[in-house]
Structure 1
């Protein structure tokens, strides 16, 4: 079966994952605003951070889909072009949001104090939040590469740091995946990667929380590797597998939903995420249709900007207006809840159109300029 050049539902599922992460960051404030304490015990809302693992698996799968065949052998110009495009994918938006936060840090000591106030010993390193060293670490996106706890600026940017590490490893991982010759071997490697991750999280007592830092890099590596090898599974799958695409997708969603009724069990959602992506790749069924719909696709397109900005917006509003928001009446609190979500979307849209998309276009122009320069140099050497 010929492989589709575009898989719209995988853009849509990225939007759903970003929305789930937003929920896990917002539901504490929302529960107070809406006077609904039951929300604080919701396993669905609590486990929204697992959307990050879905991002990592999806990233590996999509990169293989886009760059299939380019890394059968390691060639310098291919690796260089890949790194140029990836650099302009993540660094400009991260830098813009980081710089936009600087005036608040310089002129709002109350906000800085709030960000540094943590009584839980597990988060003691956040006493260094918004430090100069933390700024440099976040600017370079290396915060997950070491065990140094230099403090955070935009907490969600740890996922970008882990993703950049994945980009660095991608050429080698892709080359290794392309050498897997049998479907059975590809399935075994993909499953082994996920089993290893779940085992590590259990052994290190991270099965029911959201480990970042160096553990964030570990989460990325095993999910990212699973996504890369999953694409090999997709390529090696026998003809006719597409007939089961809708059932695989439905089964994956049912599995993920069932895990959310039990504490700790959602750590196994990485298996559901992997099956979901595999099923969606065949573009069959009602879930695929939903994720390919215009509103969900729109959310998927702006998801990176929305994801990177939302946590700061929630934190700033909680600091500046938290008490007022918590004292609103039922109508006012509902209106404010919707307004905060809308504001996060609006900032995401603005960042997407003014920063993210122009940065991607600039990256392509830089890559074309470098390729043209190399071509001119080659002609001169021949002459």
Structure 2
């Protein structure tokens, strides 16, 4: 158990890319949560944005469908994605099943880090198509090669040296910390994310990182290699625990030289820059809250500000929204949406909708306070 408590606020699971294998025309999609569906999972990615950028490239390159089975089964003509060359339209038979499955296999090979070999095969196929005067097919292969080259240029790390790893770097200033995480899978950088764990001011970087790693992998599978810029307290114990969780060897290492050291140094540089931005934003927010206290004649600056608004579509689909701000800026994981349930409220009655939102919000707050959770 860590000596100090460190609160990792962003505890949601990271997204994956899933190529489903339970359908004759495999679907490619973003996936988050337990791995229940049959298929090939690739990840984790640092963010939904990283996944969507990669999916966008894979659609351009391999023309795989993203539609759900319920939509696929009722198609009678190609959809817009086929028209803009993002889908091969297996739903209406514009590609043979075997050929479509070959595209799915190529996409999986690319995500497994076999992009260089795949590009060579596609280049050979393009030349053969040109020799046979199949110029339209050659053009499609050319576009596929270009799309893959673009994403490989932005994601390659060192496929021969680092196959699978998570990279952690912590920087600390004035009792505030930033942990930068790189995800390396199949020799490719699948994005980075920054975390700002809450902890006691007297904690050292090694203590914070130790507690952070324990929480980070609580519900996530660890990779074979974990690289760090500060060797965490109880590093061997953490590695042993992760080995039990993964059922295989897991190494926690602070590299001293080579490409692994370069990668950790880059992560530390990113962490320092992110921390500087965070501290600047916090200082600005502190000044703003001090002004709010002055204008409203408050004894102290507010710790939490909630902002509410309503919306509807010509009197239907009424919802209320709440956003929250505090000393560190907007607190996105505290945002809430309220579906208006009171059928007696007249369409477009903003006051009635706001009354329901306020009642539900503060009824819940009072209940949480009584239970000792608020």
TM-score by length of structure 1 reads 0.25
Which has more helix, going by share of residues?
1
Q: Which has the higher contact order (CA 8 A, sep 6+)?
A: 1
TM-score by length of structure 2 reads 0.25
